Amino acid sequence: MSPAPVPKNRQRGFIIPIGGGEDKQKEMLIHRKFVELSGGPDADIVVVPTASQLEATGPNYNEIFRELGAGEVEFLSINSRDDCDNPTFIEMLDRATGIFITGGNQLRLSTILGGTPVAQTIRRRNAVGVPVAGTSAGASIMSEHMIAGGSGHSGPSEDGVSLAPGIGLTNAVIIDQHFTERNRLGRLLSASSYNPFLIGLGIDEDTAAFIDPDNVLEVLGSGTITVVNAGDLTYSSMWQAGQGESLSLLGLKIDILGEGCRYDLSNRQAFPPTRDKDSFCNTPAPATTDSELR
């Protein structure tokens, strides 16, 4: 699934995968930046808490974003595929200037949202400039290919990861979350070995990748992002590995990015922090309506 096409004279909105466990009580830098990109006091943020089965998840995020100054905050009570046909939910997304997908179970999220009008609207809104953020499971589902499972604390192996379709906001990366905390390098390497075109992003807790309209990401948060670039891979044993067998992967490049570091996903190049701390906020305000594309 490729990202929705960007209309003429428009820019794609920020895509913001978060590694989970983000600070919700102190400085809340990641949420604060998301609110700013969504319009601040003029923001209309819609939260999608479907991945979580906790009733408090949607209201809790609503409270966080209101506390940070968002003008309007609502959440979609989606618990089945039938709910995704609700025209009221589509109208809410069409008004949204920011969309936030919560954590939980990414397979619950993909099996309920996948291929529905809600998923299509999220893709379309991002294509006209609306930022879409997702934490934990909400981060994983953003890419075309989603990591659905796999064990941590092990090296890359033939069965080291299971994949499923995501919602396809980006087809340049594959995303893993709670990365360092759950020692998931092996499964991200396993995912990258399937197709070296994909750039692996392993995102720590309380850390986010703000991917701008030009496909350049900047890191915000207290952890790091591990970037796995398999584009220059010279040898992979994946195609001939037996069940459960460890992999040989030669020619990989790995960058570890802390706060302020950038990575150009198109040119596969990393950059150190710059002095301009707010540079990735220099982007046009998101579209407030999408009627011309419906």
User: Which residues participate in catalysis according to the annotation?
Assistant: 136, 178, 205
Q: Which amino acid is residue 215, in one-letter code?
A: N
Q: Report DSSP letters for 144-165, one per residue.
A: SEEEEE--SSS--BTTS-EEEE
Chain-centre distance of CA 45, in angstroms?
Answer: 16
Bridge partners (DSSP) of residue 220 are 208
DSSP 3: P
* Coil vs helix vs strand at 22: coil
Dist. CA 276–CA 292, nearest whole Å:
36
Dist. CA 167–CA 140, nearest whole Å:
9
* Coil vs helix vs strand at 198: coil
Query: Order of strands across the sheet with 199-203?
Result: 173-177, 199-203, 225-229, 253-257
Dist. CA 250–CA 237, nearest whole Å:
9
